[in-house]
Amino acid sequence: MTVSLRASDPIVVNVALGERSYDILIGRGQLALLGQKIAALRPGAKVAIVTDENVMRYHLAAAEAVLAAAGIAATSVTVPAGESSKSFPVLERVCEALIAARVERADLVVALGGGVIGDLAGFAAAILRRGLDYVQVPTTLLAQVDSSVGGKTAIDSSHGKNLIGAFHQPVLVLADTALLDTLSPRQFRAGYAEVAKYGLIGDAAFFAWLEANWRDVFAGGPAREHAIAVSCRMKAAIVSRDERETGERALLNLGHTFGHALEAAAGFSDRLLHGEAISLGMALAFRFSAKRGLLPTTMAERVERHLAAVGLPIDISSVPGGVPGPDRLMELIAQDKKVKRGNLTFILARGIGASFIAPDIDAADVRAFLVQQLAER
């Protein structure tokens, strides 16, 4: 299945970071503008496209065609699909391929893919020749609303997710919503978890809108573009105020402390996709908040109902193959990037749209909560 190369007028969201500011263009057919935008941003630059085997089959030829039509020389590097590509061996392979292709500091890397490719290609761009500019062309819902925006790039460690990386902002994000037509229902649902996250963090009205309109978001059209734009605007505003996550930006990790631990426990595999892990993590974060008396249990149940209604997991017992016991999960949680001097930091909530950063959470309380969840679910 290929997508139309006719571009609709995009919704434009600016990420205001001074000299590092850039636009996110949201709408159907935006891939058709790739050559035009790159020629305007970096006249005379060559392009190196980094993609994966799945995305290559659907979208690489179209990307190469629009670059060629703009007179832009391009090369491509294709890696295996999946989280396992966020690793030192694959990073080395990408870097060596870009060097062999004589990619220079004035050239551009294009990350054509989902969150894995965005993280991997962005990190390669951050370190190759001490820094290349790059463009994000996210092909999944999760990447369009979250990982392509904000400049977080990384690979995984055996100790946990995204532990080796750098902040490196793109110069442009082209969020072509037509590319989402090629996603499987499971992949789209997984990305929707990050959309719901924005409502839960700080926009109760948006969460209520999603409860009423999620079917239209899944169906495509204006509702989908609206949901993506609202998500990107919220992330852009937070990143503009706290680029390097020294404060407020940590709110974007709602559900990620529990979720990353579960994702690592599942071996970063198709047993549990990233968005599915975040859905579980958000359900756990709201239950934990209710257990601590921060919000009514009925509010946590409302969050669970919506996530379950769209087909996302909310119970630890739903992870295929099961998860390890509380001690191993606590070991994985202890590797979370928000840990400071050994103290746990969680993103908890006082209500829907009222999340906050909770430092110095007692590890014993978290372990007792996990013991309860593993026993009850």
All structural domains of the chain, each given as residue ranges with its CATH number in brackets, are: 11-182 (3.40.50.1970), 185-376 (1.20.1090.10)
DSSP assignment letter at 9: P
What is the pTM assigned to this prediction?
Answer: 0.93
Q: Are 133 and 109 in contact (CB under 8 A)?
A: yes
Q: End-to-end distance of the chain based on CA atoms, in angstroms?
A: 40
The CB-side HSE value for 15 (13 A sphere, CA atoms) comes to 25
The residues that are catalytic are 130, 152, 194, 235, 245, 249, 253, 256, 260, 274
Distance of CA 356 to the CA centre of its chain: 20
Q: Are strands 108-113 and 47-52 parallel, antiparallel or unpaired?
A: parallel
Q: Are strands 22-27 and 74-79 parallel, antiparallel or unpaired?
A: unpaired
Q: Are 41 and 67 in contact (CB under 8 A)?
A: no
DSSP characters over 38-64: HHHHSTT--EEEEEEHHHIIIIIHHHH
Q: What local confidence, expressed as pLDDT, does residue 360 receive?
A: 84
Q: What local confidence, expressed as pLDDT, does residue 376 receive?
A: 77
The torsion angles phi and psi of 312, rounded to 5 degrees, stand at -90, 150
Angstrom CA distances, 117 to 22, 53, 110, 206, 308, stand at 19, 11, 10, 29, 28
Angstrom CA distances, 192 to 152, 214, 217, 309, stand at 20, 9, 9, 12
Q: What local confidence, expressed as pLDDT, does residue 5 receive?
A: 46
- Tens-digit pLDDT profile for the chain (377 aa)? 344 445 678 999 999 999 999 999 999 999 999 999 999 999 999 999 999 999 999 999 999 999 999 999 999 999 999 999 999 999 999 999 999 999 999 999 999 999 999 999 999 999 999 999 999 999 999 999 999 999 999 999 988 889 999 999 999 999 999 999 999 999 999 999 999 999 999 999 999 999 999 999 999 989 999 999 999 999 999 999 999 999 999 999 999 999 999 999 998 899 999 999 999 999 999 999 999 999 999 999 999 999 999 999 999 999 999 999 999 999 999 887 667 766 799 999 999 999 999 998 999 999 999 999 998 76
Q: What local confidence, expressed as pLDDT, does residue 17 receive?
A: 97
Give the integer Cα–Cα distance in Å for 312 and 281: 11
